[in-house]
Amino acid sequence: MTNVTLVTGDGIGPEIAEAARRCIDATGADIEWDIVEAGADVMQREGTPLPQKTMDSIKKNGIALKAPITTPVGTGFRSINVHLRQTLDLYACLRPCKSYKGVRSRYENIDLVIVRENTEDCYAGIEFEKGKDETEDLINWINSRREKQIRKDSGITIKPISVTGTSRIVRFAFDYARKLGRKKVTSVHKANIMKYSDGLWLDVSRQVAKEYPDIEFEDRIVDNMCMQLIQKPELYDVLVLPNLYGDIISDLCAGLVGGLGVAPGANIGEKGAIFEATHGSAPKYKGQNKVNPTALILSGVLMLRHMDKMAQAERLENAVAAVIAEGKDVTYDMKKNRDDPTAVGTSQMADAIIQKMNR
């Protein structure tokens, strides 16, 4: 028996969380769920969108399946998702992008894994606002030391990339590739322009790659990577990227396989791992038993693999793929025509997936 925290979220969260939980239980994975809340609904009752009980449960169990959460305005949290990532130091964002037959897309046979660094780069939150005294001090300090001058009316965002941050994320990508039997890791950068940040990223990537002689390594400049992914995505396998490029390329790759409805994700660190769909809480569909549970169920597949429950993960992924390929018991968004009256609800799609596993 493994203890896992289920964060039910808000908006469509509780419906898809329940669908995913039922599907995961049907694999026989032997999970004891600790069901907790986060988001707008619990905020109304308890005055905080992230109750201590929820945080304690995630910390204690170290593994959580999390439904989407609306980012509440004016609570002291910039975003609960960001808060969770920072508090637990979930430094790796994992986003597999895989084609499933039956999902409308311009491409077929895509099978990519995006590994994005989650803590550094321009997203580290170190910014200097135009016109502030500290910004002026910084500009003066730089201008007195460099020939190249920064204009006085500039705003500045700092882009830190460290050896520590880079080596652990590149190692994560290689370890993931090894565990899942993947063949190649591509490190993405702009080292030709940003020599001391992306240049460091590339140097460290090359060093770490030497520890994994069984896995092919290559690097790509990010602009070229974008073009290659559109022209020949089949050439790529696992991509590892700094935070900003990772954010952009993971959405590009979700687009290659048919959008956010089928895009699972995870944020993983030494202290814990949170598995979640890439889409948000879609509040307008709340309580209607209408939306697609696939992305959260596939996040459950990632979670089972993370827990080394490989057979159960395989079983669940195959059942999801079979239901989507049949195209009968799927939600409105997966039908050719969105008004198709044969579309089923969230829980009925979960039932169909469970039935496939029981066959």
Query: Are the C-beta atoms of residues 312 and 29 closer than 8 Å to each other?
Result: yes
Query: Are the C-beta atoms of residues 92 and 114 closer than 8 Å to each other?
Result: no
Euclidean distance between CA atoms 359 and 352, whole angstroms: 11
Annotation marks residue 223 as catalytic: yes
Annotation marks residue 25 as catalytic: no
Identify which range of 68-76, 110-118, 149-157, 319-327 contacts ligand NAD by CB under 6 A: 68-76
- State the nearest-atom distance from the C-beta of 9 to ligand NAD, in Å: 6
If one asks whether residue 71 binds ligand NAD (CB under 6 A), the answer comes out as yes
If one asks whether residue 70 binds ligand NAD (CB under 6 A), the answer comes out as yes
Of the candidates 91, 100, 123, 245, the residue annotated as catalytic is 123
The closest alpha carbon to 256, from 276, 241, 236, 240, belongs to: 236
If one asks whether residue 330 binds ligand NAD (CB under 6 A), the answer comes out as no
Euclidean distance between CA atoms 97 and 318, whole angstroms: 15
If one asks whether residue 282 binds ligand NAD (CB under 6 A), the answer comes out as yes
Beta bridge partners of 36: 7
Of the candidates 137, 223, 308, 340, the residue annotated as catalytic is 223
Non-local CB neighbours of 54 within 8 Å, separated by 6+ positions: 5, 7, 36, 37, 38
Identify which range of 140-148, 163-171, 266-274, 291-299 contacts ligand NAD by CB under 6 A: 291-299
**Residue 237 phi/psi, 5° resolution?**
-130, -85
Q: Hey, is 116 helix, strand or coil? A: strand
**Nearest-CB residue for ligand NAD:** 280
If one asks whether residue 68 binds ligand NAD (CB under 6 A), the answer comes out as yes
Q: What is the dihedral of CA 248, 252, 254, 257, to 10 degrees?
A: -170
Place of tokens 């994994």: 212
**Amino acid (one-letter) located at 86:** Q
Euclidean distance between CA atoms 220 and 193, whole angstroms: 13
Of the candidates 34, 121, 198, 247, the residue annotated as catalytic is 247
What is the total count of residues that contact ligand NAD (CB under 6 A)? 17
Which of 7, 23, 55, 69 binds ligand NAD (CB under 6 A)? It is: 69
Which of 236, 333, 343, 356 binds ligand NAD (CB under 6 A)? It is: 333
Nearer to ligand NAD, 31 or 330 (CB): 330
Which residues are annotated as catalytic?
123, 190, 223, 247
Binding site for ligand NAD (CB under 6 A): 68-71, 81, 260-261, 276, 279-282, 284, 291-292, 295, 333
